[in-house]
Chains A and B, each alone.
Chain A
Amino acid sequence: MTATNPSLDLAGGADAPPARPRPGRSSARAGETRRKWFEIIGLTTPAVLVYVTFVLVPMGFAFYYSLFRWRGVGKPTDYVGFDNYVLAFQDPIFLDALRNNAIIVFGSLVIQGPIALAVALLLNRNFRGRTVFRLLAFVPYVLAEVTVGIMWKLLLADAGTVNAMLESLGLGFLVQAWLADLDLVIWTLLFILTWKYVGFAIILLLAGLSNVPEELTEAAQIDGASWWQIQRHVTLPLLAPTIRIWMFLSMIGSLQIFDMIWVTSVPAVRSLGASATMATYMVDNGFFARLWGYGNAVAVILFVISFVAALLFQRFLLRRDLQGAITGRAK
């Protein structure tokens, strides 16, 4: 266990105790306070250290590097100010990537939300074999992005299964170059992402549904409400916080989407912008083309967009939920 480590006793008892010791018994109290801080610091320091080092510090460095033209060798010296940012917003490929991210963010919310809600309400009903159906509905979400990407890449190839099945069903006119058509590819990707991630929404909503007290639905039932009425007037309002949390997580995930796009899309199509996202654009340019300064500028843009979106979401939609739901002890 993360035992108290003496070498981590940075503050010791020197810090002002937050709970004021009662006068009279101060020495025993001081010892207790001292030990309390000892434990607090010992238990939290490892987490704080790892978190700061690998989450916060890199973002700081990203901003620093983004101000240079730098190929990643030696120390960055060619200071260019905000030129990299200007360049990014002048690159039509990056603008395409931004548009694609927007499509994925809104497409995911609009398509996955209703589907997940319907499936969650369905799988929340009591019927024999429910557990098995739940498991099956979660399968796409559990699979690795890479395996799902390769699977769909094979299925949707020009001479792949989907096109072959369309032919054999007499629907040959529907045959498409699903992943190579520049106008179509982003919608194909949106379909694959929906298939993959709707299970996540279902898991969250089912967890939320299990918190809806049975007494409430039973009471409504006794009052003669129909199943639909109960869902509409009892369950849904109680589920609203969970829905908002899902929307939030889905939005952040969509903004930084990488794996599936990277694996599924053809590099040539991606380099034309048709299937690029901010994250694939960043890795293509920063890591593989070794434009480290530029890539880091894109990273900062991606971060700022996510952060602002998250703050706006919190400000307008999530505020109440975070107070009630995530902060643990109710006041």
Chain B
Amino acid sequence: MTVTANAVPSTSAKRPFAWSSPLTYALALAVAAVSITPVVYVIVGGFRTTPQIVADPAGLPDPWVWDNYARVLTRSDFWGQALNSGVIALGTTLGVVLLGVGAAFVLARYTFRGREALYTFFTLGLLFPAGAAILPLYLMLRDLNLINSYYAVMLPQIAFQLPLTIVILRPFLSAIPRELEDAAAIDGTGRIGFLWRIVLPLSRPALVTVGILAFVASWNAFLLPLLVLGDASLHTLPLGVQNFSSQYTSDTAGILAFTSLAMLPALLFFTFAEKQIVGGLQGAVKG
């Protein structure tokens, strides 16, 4: 889109739209600096030694040491925690997308009594703070013997992510032209076939959006795992970072390295999917 914009000649002084004025860049740079300076500091700090950091907290690495990152990466519990985070996040994403598509498809493409009531019923979940339910949730999972299992994190996460997922998906699924459904019907395809062969491929951007939101929410989740994963072998990365930082308080460089490595996957994931997220949210915030 930048290309097309630049293709338009905009040299005329009368045009108030100077596409790339120095001021725009200055402001954008300032925004970027505020956003990433602390993060860069953490990543770079991981290449220093703790004495270096203590002597001059704001300095650059001199010399650069790989030891901190090497230490974290050779710890088996870092990889175990990354695996736990990955399994839980993937399970959550899969569950959210499967259940969300089913419900959103019905709410978007079927006409039936109680449809709006069902939709309101789901959107009500947006008002339920996940935090408020955490204590009874813990008790319930304990009674169900699910404490210290992946399910104890995945199932509630799926449940609490469903309202947002349905709110985002429904307008997308509604927007698929009725003619396509009629054409499918004429070809003898039922609505399930229509869902499977036409709706799902067409709504891939929206599915990716809700999938990413669910994945990142799960990957970053802290409170629920903190309460239900007492078993250290099941700990996820956020728990691992928190434990490491309170266990080795004097190892500042180690904490910085661990924190950087824990940040990395979410950053990479988001970098690849940013367009999808903004695009996918358009339907939900339509004015």
- List the interface of chain A (C-beta within 8 A of B): 1-4, 16, 18-19, 35-37, 39-40, 42-44, 46-48, 50-51, 53-59, 61-62, 65, 72, 119, 122-123, 125-131, 133-140, 142-147, 150-155, 159-161, 163-165, 168, 195, 199, 203-204, 206-208, 210-211, 221, 225-227, 238-242, 245, 252, 255-259, 262-263, 279, 282-283, 286-287, 292, 295-296, 299-300, 302-303, 306-307, 310-311, 321, 324-329
Contacts and interface: CB of A to CB of B under 8 A. Distances in A.
Given A126-B19, A160-B57, A307-B127, A146 B263 contact: no
A206 B277 CA distance: 11
B242 A150 contact: yes
A311 B126 CA distance: 11
Given A1-B196, A137-B35, A150-B245, A58 B136 contact: yes
Given A127-B25, A138-B274, A144-B219, A59 B2 contact: no
Given A134-B274, A207-B281, A325-B286, 14 more contacts: A18-B113, A43-B103, A44-B118, A54-B156, A122-B27, A125-B19, A127-B24, A133-B28, A137-B35, A155-B41, A242-B287, A256-B130, A257-B131, A303-B132
Nearest to B260: A147
Interface in B131-178: 131-140, 155-156, 158-160, 162-163, 166-167, 170-171, 174-175
A300 B158 CA distance: 22
B98 A2 contact: yes
Contacts of A208: 282, 285, 287
Contacts of B16: 221, 225-227
Contact of B238 (A54, A147, A160): A147
Contacts of A164: 56-58
A44 B102 CA distance: 6
- Interface secondary structure of B, over-half rule: helix
Given A147-B238, A207-B285, A48 B103 contact: yes
Contact of A245 (B28, B36, B41, B285): B285
A73 to B, nearest CB: 11
Interface of B: 1-2, 5-6, 16-17, 19-21, 24-25, 27-29, 31-32, 34-36, 38-39, 41-42, 54, 56-58, 95, 98-103, 105-108, 110-114, 116, 118-119, 122-123, 125-140, 155-156, 158-160, 162-163, 166-167, 170-171, 174-175, 190-192, 195-196, 216, 219-220, 222-223, 227, 237-239, 241-242, 245, 252, 255-256, 259, 262-263, 266-267, 270-271, 274-275, 277-279, 281-282, 284-287
B103 A18 contact: no
A136 B285 contact: no
Q: Most chain-B CB neighbours within 10 Å: which of A168, A195, A325, A328?
A: A328
B128 A303 contact: yes
B6 A47 contact: no
Nearest to A37: B112
Given A50-B158, A211-B287, A144 B129 contact: no
Contacts of B57: 159-161, 163-165
A23 B129 CA distance: 49
10 contacts: A1-B98, A47-B99, A51-B125, A122-B28, A126-B2, A207-B279, A227-B17, A303-B129, A328-B171, A329-B174
